Chain A
Amino acid sequence: MSTHAEHLAAVRVLLATTRRTVLTYGETDLIPEADRPTDYIIVDLARMFGGAEALDGTVASTMWRLGTLAVSTDEDNANVLLDDCATALEGKTMPVGDTETGPVCFESAVAVGADDGMFSGRTDWTYDYS
């Protein structure tokens, strides 16, 4: 059994290679609008399904969905941030607890567009954890 905090920490390690500010939605809310960075990435992470225990004691692997929202004051830069996220995440595995996750796989994307006075674009990823 692994915790959300362990998974989020592993995601942060991968995203650290982007050298961008990485925030959760909760952390973003705590920063006044005027003090927010001009470029940042918001991550959200939730378990999708899995983890059921079979009669023989084996446990089905769990799937996790990871969202990366690239936010910038500049439209082109938001796209660069999305590319940076892809470079950092796609196909990578992460150590969580005693084991390694499956590779991070692309699920879907939303093109960069205007977002409340800035620009943002989203890519969602999934990975499994046994």
Chain B
Amino acid sequence: MRVHVVGGVADLARDLKSIKVKARKDMRATVRDGIRAGNTLAKANAERSSGRHGKHYPKAFRAEMNSSLFGSGSATISGEYGPITGPKQGRMSFENGSRNQKPHRDLARSADVIGGSFAQEVRALPDRWFW
């Protein structure tokens, strides 16, 4: 078998320069896709579990990116999803339940599903930058 390499150190240097710019955009996009997927699942869970008394609750679900934090040699890119308090029934305590109502865990169950694939997406990022 023969391996033919096209490119050299100069190409690698050029890649590394462009990755620096591309990485931030790609990482934000991956987080954004992750929270959107999570929110879709959580909302679907809520539609099944909220029942007649909580018919407005699923409509309160949103996915939102937070501000990114860069500094001290590290970066944090984050987003969140779930019911927001503004819309009707957005404050309902369905997720964790109470002493008279069992927890619905719409969010936790969505995270169970999305967690593995999100981790895989994050791991795949560097490969896409180099190839």
Contact = CB atoms under 8 A, between A and B. Distances in A.
Interface of A: 25, 28, 42, 44, 46, 48-49, 63, 65, 67, 69, 71, 108, 110, 115-116, 118, 120, 122, 124
B98 A116 contact: yes
Given A48-B112, A49-B112, A65-B108, A120 B102 contact: no
Given A46-B105, A118-B99, 17 more contacts: A25-B102, A28-B99, A28-B100, A44-B102, A44-B103, A48-B109, A69-B97, A69-B98, A69-B99, A110-B96, A115-B98, A116-B98, A120-B98, A122-B96, A122-B97, A122-B103, A124-B108
Contacts of A122: 96-97, 103
B99 A71 contact: yes
Contacts of A63: 112
17 contacts: A28-B99, A42-B99, A44-B102, A48-B109, A48-B112, A65-B108, A69-B97, A69-B98, A69-B99, A110-B96, A116-B98, A116-B99, A116-B100, A120-B98, A120-B99, A122-B96, A124-B108
Contacts, number: 35
Contacts of B113: 49
Given A48-B112, A49-B112, A67 B99 contact: no
Main secondary structure of the interface of B (DSSP, over half): loop
Contacts of B105: 46, 65
Interface string B83-120: 00000000000001111101101001100110000000
A67 B98 contact: no
A81 to B, nearest CB: 12
Contacts of A46: 105
A127 to B, nearest CB: 14
A115 B103 contact: no
